[in-house]
Amino acid sequence: MSDLRIIDIEKRYQAVQPKNDASFMLRPVRLSIREGEFFSLLGPSGCGKTTLLKLVAGLLQADGGEIWVGGENLTNVPPESRRFAMVFQQSLLFPHKTIEDNVAFGLKMQKVGKKQRLKAARDMLEQVGLAGFGNRFPDELSGGQQQRVALARALVANPRVLLMDEPFSALDPGLRKEMRELLSRIQKDFRVTVLFVTHDRDEAFALSDRIAVMGDGQLRQVGSARDLYERPETTAVASFLGLRNILSGVLKNSRFASSDGTIETDVTKQLTDGAYFMVIRPEAIKAAEGNQLGHVSVSGIVQELKYGRGMYSLKVNAGNQLLECVVTTTQAEKTAVGEPINLLVDMEEVWFLKE
Amino acid sequence: MKKHPQLLSLFAFIALIIFVVVPFVPLILSSVSFSWRWPDVLPESWSFRAWEYVLNDGRTWQAVGISLWIALIVTAVNILLALPAANALVRYPVRGRWLFEAIIFAPIIIPPFISVMGIHLTFLRLGLTETVLGVVLAHIAPTLPYMFRAVMISYQTLSADWEDQARMLGARALPRFFHVVLPHLLPGILAGASLSVLISLSQYLITFIIGAGQVVTLPILLFPFVSGGDPGIASAYSLLYAAIAIAALVGMDAALKRYYQLNKAPQDLAKGGKP
Amino acid sequence: MKLYPITAIGMLALALSACSSEEAGSATDADSLLTDDWSVIQDNAQGQEVNMYMWGGNDNINNYLDDWVAPRMKEQHGIELVRVPMNDAQDIINQLLDEKTAGKTDGSMDIVWINGENFKAAKDNDLLWGDFTGQLPNFNDYVDADAPEVSQDFGEPVEGLEAPWGKAQFVFVHDANQHENPPKSMTELADWVKQNPGQFTYPAPPDFTGSAFVRQVLYETTGGHEQYQQPAADIEDLEERLEPMWQYLNSIEPYLWREGETYPESLAKQDQLFASGEIGMTMSYDPALAASEVLKGRFPESTRTYLLDGGTLANTHFLSIPFNASDKAGALVAINELMSPAAQTAKLSPENWGDLTALDLEKLSPEQQQAMNEVDLGEATLSIEELEQNRLPELSSDYIDIIEKGWTEHVAKE
């Protein structure tokens, strides 16, 4: 068992400030990442995810807490001795060294013989699809190729943990997808533990076993992609994950009434009375007339109609509430901006958040 | 399209002649002229008196050796001082950093005469006058700012990520410096070293006051002839001085090229083939 | 930055290189050398390295020291004579002043070549060793110690602190092919300047030669040199007495080179103007300089020197020993040798230097006299006799200060 355990790691701002809570760059974080797991830190820029990554790497000095791998306390071990590897947003290939020498650099630092390390480097280059590029220099490679080399260089010395700081964000979208697939495959082949930082929800969802959503210097929620999306614990997590249909209201005697009066419906879930947010995923809404069992009907005016990848996304003004939903092309063709529309919300798919 | 680069290189060549070669012509003529009087364009006759004096004097070659030796040590010391100083000032949030920079850059603005007069007494008491060591220390003041500036700019363009990357690959401080930092700084260091060597070679006043006649560099021999009005010998010394300076620069440039060749050995050709 | 080992090696190398240039000097009971027998001094001098600090801007002088004097010094006295080139004798004084302040006792200047203002400054600040000339056999045998040009240096009593090495005299230089009858007095010069506008100028004081020219004007326009043999402070109406001199200089100014708007900043610049034919006359405080410039091909063959009918300024230049010289015995022997008839005869030759002897010709043996007279001074140089008969004494430096400042005020600014 070589799990990566992050125990109450914290980081404060360096600036001298009166002692108050606002001085935290990162509030104490506790996380346990299993060996071979692909774990992402997801959040908007400035949320502290890169800080956490660098704390794990040892490139930043923590103001408290510990880092363990298996039974080994690495808190006071300098980064060069942690046997972690890191891939940055830029490939950071050493420009005066060949691709081969770049990849072999980590082994060279471990004093592995020249022949052996060059062979390992070549094998690794083959893994990332760059066989035969070994004798070139970094500036002769495209951006995507360079990032592949960076990945090869990080993996060649068999790191205990691979840290990645938005490694694909500088690439164009097509290339990004290709790189994700490559990374996914290699991660499984090498069974390496990955701690991956990104602000891109789709990227995190596509790659990760588990995701930690971060905001304002703290962990908001940890879980699988589906957990997070279908059962967000706060409105902040929900809205960061793209869930816009959030209606505040009051639940009383198994009946929920939104405060603006748009929706009033029975709730079958076992919930105590109180103030709630009702989170409706766009997929839980369909455009249809009449009424259906387990659904609640909402009528409104179409405000926006946008085509995207085989489906239309629709914004409907219902009372004071703007609801987003997804409809098929045929359904979309029946309506237009400014026309009234009737929506059905599947109450099975609705998620209630206690305020 | 094809004519264009040729035309450009022709202009470059002409500019080179005008700005680099032409200024040397009067020096060369004056160093070998005998009875060169206005309004003659060329000297009436020739004489190698000046060159005989300059080249036969054993002191000339001794002075060349000492000049280069001092320039070399000064530059080496400058590199050792500028690297950590620039590193600290660029990388760490030093309090009052403008003050440190001001101190380092001050010798460029303050006339060397003033500072040298000040340190002369101190050096006398420490027994540093009339020694190569004293002259080297005194030369550091006017040369270090240039070295420091060059290295600092190089450091500013080196993101800390590079070193972080090397750390994450297991590199300790020394390998980090030699594999990542030094190759990046090298062009800057060379630029600084060139200036340092040239400025050290050209110091008259500082060398004269601190060396007190016992450390004889080329300018020490040259100056009395410039002010004493012997244009022939002054020209010959100036030409020799220029030759030494150029040789030093070319030598350093060759050393850098060699360094890059050693590091990029067989691929250079393949690289040169690419547009 | 873990560079300490490299730094340490660098510093070590520096320290080693510094050690090698360190000098082992002993100034122990040096003062007894002022009374010791000459043979004791000679014994002490054996093997010493004597540094001679002197202006280094003339290849003839340098070669005379390096090629003529130094080998003989080594051969005959076992002394290593090292010439140290200086840009200006003023620097020697500044250096010694600092060394005195810092209490440096093992100085490396053993002989210094000075006179005039620099001697006065050195004397006033106790930078010189002591009354040593009486110890030198050649001084005792061949020099007239009572002659004013030997006992005084620009009005300052020498008191044995420096030994005469050579003499200089102010001469005018012209091209005989251009102007057959050069002006022989200041009145004639004023006429000549008006007839040949743009052909005359003089280096701006405080240039040494330019300043001497102004003093020459002073003597001729204010009624002779005798009145100035007392300290300047004792003459109450000095301002008024100097007035005719300023008037004279201002009256010729519009007819000078560039209409007197600027003056050459140095004699070197003035000589360049003469060499290139831009001006018709130059001047020198070295009567043999013109001859040696002809030999170097800078001045035309037809260059000649001449004196004013009323005589010209003359001075003596001296060799002295600083208070902290490390090799005083060697310095004594070297100075004695530089004053020998043989060395002085060689020095007289324009091929070597062309500097007038400091020795009294009458004290020399007939053979020695003959050797001196046989030296070919070159056509451009006047005979020793003619020069000797037209010497005027120099002013003391308090006058020189007043005149140099006055020139800026009365002539340059107007």
Half-sphere exposure of C119 (CA within 13 A, CB side): 28
Asked whether the predicted pLDDT for residue C64 surpasses 50, the reply is yes
Joined together, the tokens standing for residue A284 give: 């839980």
Asked whether the predicted pLDDT for residue B59 surpasses 70, the reply is yes
C185 Cβ partners below 8 Å, 6+ apart?
C220, C308, C309, C310
Is C91 in contact with B208 (Cβ distance < 8 A)? yes
A227 and A285 co-located in one domain? no
Tens of pLDDT along C193-208? 999 999 999 999 888 8
Q: Does C16 touch chain B (CB under 8 A)?
A: no
Asked whether the predicted pLDDT for residue C152 surpasses 80, the reply is yes
Joined together, the tokens standing for residue B261 give: 């060749």
Indicate whether B47 belongs to any domain.
Answer: no
**Please, which chains are in contact with C (at least 3 CB pairs closer than 8 A)?**
B
Is A109 in contact with B175 (Cβ distance < 8 A)? yes
Q: Does B140 touch chain C (CB under 8 A)?
A: no
**B169 to chain A: which residues are within 8 Å by CB?**
80, 85, 105-106, 109, 153-154, 157
Q: Which residues pair with A307 in a beta bridge?
A: A312
Q: Which residues pair with C313 in a beta bridge?
A: C392
A58 and A169 co-located in one domain? yes
Residue A261 to chain B, least CA–CA distance (Å) = 54
Look up the domain containing A28 and give its range: 4-236
Mean pLDDT confidence for B247-271: 69
**B167 to chain A: which residues are within 8 Å by CB?**
59, 78-80
> Strand, helix or coil at B80?
helix
Half-sphere exposure of C149 (CA within 13 A, CB side): 23
B→A contacts (Cβ < 8 Å), by residue, are 93, 161-162, 164-172, 175, 179-180, 183, 260, 263-264, 266-267, 270-271, 274
End-to-end Cα separation, chain A, in angstroms: 39
Q: Which long-range contacts (CB under 8 A, 24 or more apart) does A218-222 make?
A: A218/A24, A218/A26, A218/A27, A218/A29, A218/A48, A219/A29, A219/A31, A220/A43, A222/A31
A34 and A166 co-located in one domain? yes
Quote the ipTM score: 0.82
Tens of pLDDT along A50-59? 999 999 999 9
How far is the C-alpha of C87 from the C-alpha of C54, rounded, in Å? 8
Indicate whether B8 belongs to any domain.
Answer: no
Question: Which residue of B162, B260, B263 is in closest CB contact with A92?
Answer: B162
> Strand, helix or coil at A144?
helix
Joined together, the tokens standing for residue A58 give: 């040892």
C398 Cβ partners below 8 Å, 6+ apart?
C231, C232, C233
Q: How far lies A152's CA from each of A113, A121, A128, A157, in Å?
A: 18, 8, 7, 9
A189 and A89 co-located in one domain? yes
Look up the domain containing B73 and give its range: 59-217
Is C108 in contact with B213 (Cβ distance < 8 A)? yes
pTM higher than 0.80? no
- Burial letters for A261-292: b for 16+ Cβ neighbours within 10 Å, e otherwise? ebbebebeeeeeeeebbbbbbbebbbbeeeee
Q: How far lies C23's CA from each of A239, C106, C134, C327, in Å?
A: 84, 9, 29, 11
Q: Which long-range contacts (CB under 8 A, 24 or more apart) does A292-295 make?
A: A292/A344, A294/A346, A294/A347, A294/A348, A295/A344, A295/A345, A295/A346, A295/A347
Asked whether the predicted pLDDT for residue B272 surpasses 60, the reply is no
Nearest one of A153, A344, A349, A337 to A263, comparing CA atoms: A344
How far is the C-alpha of C152 from the C-alpha of C119, rounded, in Å? 11
Joined together, the tokens standing for residue A259 give: 């405060």
C282 Cβ partners below 8 Å, 6+ apart?
C172, C173, C174, C267, C270, C271, C273, C274
At C58 the pLDDT is: 83
Give the domains, in start order, of chain C with CATH numbers. Answer: 36-166+317-381 (3.40.190.10), 171-314+392-412 (3.40.190.10)
- Looking at every residue in chain A, the average pLDDT score rounds to 89
- Looking at every residue in chain B, the average pLDDT score rounds to 83
At B3 the pLDDT is: 52
Q: What angle do CA C108, C114, C116 make, to 5 degrees?
A: 145
Tens of pLDDT along A231-248? 999 999 999 998 888 988
- Burial letters for B177-202: b for 16+ Cβ neighbours within 10 Å, e otherwise? bebbbebbbbebbbbbbbbbbbbbbb
Is B171 in contact with A98 (Cβ distance < 8 A)? no
Q: Of A236, A269, A301, at which residue does a domain stop?
A: A236
**B44 to chain C: which residues are within 8 Å by CB?**
297
Size of interface B-C (CB pairs under 8 A): 139
Nearest one of C164, C203, C201 to C314, comparing CA atoms: C164
For chain B, the domain total comes to: 1
Tens of pLDDT along A166-219? 999 989 988 999 999 999 999 999 999 999 999 999 999 999 999 999 988 889
For chain A, the domain total comes to: 2
Q: Does B231 touch chain C (CB under 8 A)?
A: yes
Alpha-carbon torsion A23, A27, A28, A29, what sign? Answer: negative
- Looking at every residue in chain C, the average pLDDT score rounds to 87
**CATH code: domain of residue B80:** 1.10.3720.10
Asked whether the predicted pLDDT for residue B262 surpasses 80, the reply is no
Q: Where are the alpha helices (DSSP H) in chain B?
A: 3-16, 24-32, 49-56, 58-91, 97-109, 112-126, 132-156, 160-168, 173-176, 182-202, 205-211, 218-228, 231-263, 267-273
**CATH code: domain of residue A117:** 3.40.50.300
Span of A293-302, B194-203, B224-233, C151-160 with lowest mean pLDDT:
B224-233
Classify residue A293 as exposed, middle or buried by CB count within 10 Å of its CB (0-12, 13-18, 19+).
exposed
Asked whether the predicted pLDDT for residue A22 surpasses 70, the reply is no
Joined together, the tokens standing for residue A167 give: 């490694």
Mean pLDDT confidence for C5-21: 44
Nearest-Å Rg of the Cα atoms of chain C is: 23
How many CB atoms neighbour CB A63 within 10 A?
17
A184 and A273 co-located in one domain? no
Q: Of A236, A260, A287, at which residue does a domain stop?
A: A236
Alpha-carbon torsion C183, C187, C193, C195, what sign? Answer: negative
Confidence of residue A16 (pLDDT cuts 50, 70, 90): low
C84 Cβ partners below 8 Å, 6+ apart?
B213, B214, B216, C51, C52, C53, C54, C56, C109
> Strand, helix or coil at C125?
coil
Mean pLDDT confidence for A258-274: 84
**B172 to chain A: which residues are within 8 Å by CB?**
80, 109
Which residue out of C296, C324, C351 would a mutagenesis test of the B interface target, given it has the greatest number of B Cβ atoms within 10 Å? C296
A81 and A183 co-located in one domain? yes
What residue has token string 């043989």?
C342
Is B165 in contact with A81 (Cβ distance < 8 A)? no
**Please, which chains are in contact with B (at least 3 CB pairs closer than 8 A)?**
A, C
A141 and A290 co-located in one domain? no
- E-assigned strand segments in C56-170: 80-86, 111-114, 152-153, 156-157, 162-169
At C25 the pLDDT is: 39
Which residue out of B164, B168, B178, B268 would a mutagenesis test of the A interface target, given it has the greatest number of A Cβ atoms within 10 Å? B168
A39 and A167 co-located in one domain? yes
Asked whether the predicted pLDDT for residue A18 surpasses 70, the reply is no
**C10 to chain B: which residues are within 8 Å by CB?**
73, 76-77, 80
A118 and A251 co-located in one domain? no
Size of interface A-B (CB pairs under 8 A): 72
A173 and A270 co-located in one domain? no
How far is the C-alpha of C83 from the C-alpha of C66, rounded, in Å? 7
Question: Which residue of C91, C102, C275 is in closest CB contact with B121?
Answer: C102
Contact between C305 and C389 (Cβ < 8 Å)? no
A260 and A226 co-located in one domain? no
Q: Of A174, A203, A236, at which residue does a domain stop?
A: A236
A258 and A229 co-located in one domain? no
Indicate whether B180 belongs to any domain.
Answer: yes
Question: Which residue of B165, B179, B264 is in closest CB contact with A88?
Answer: B165
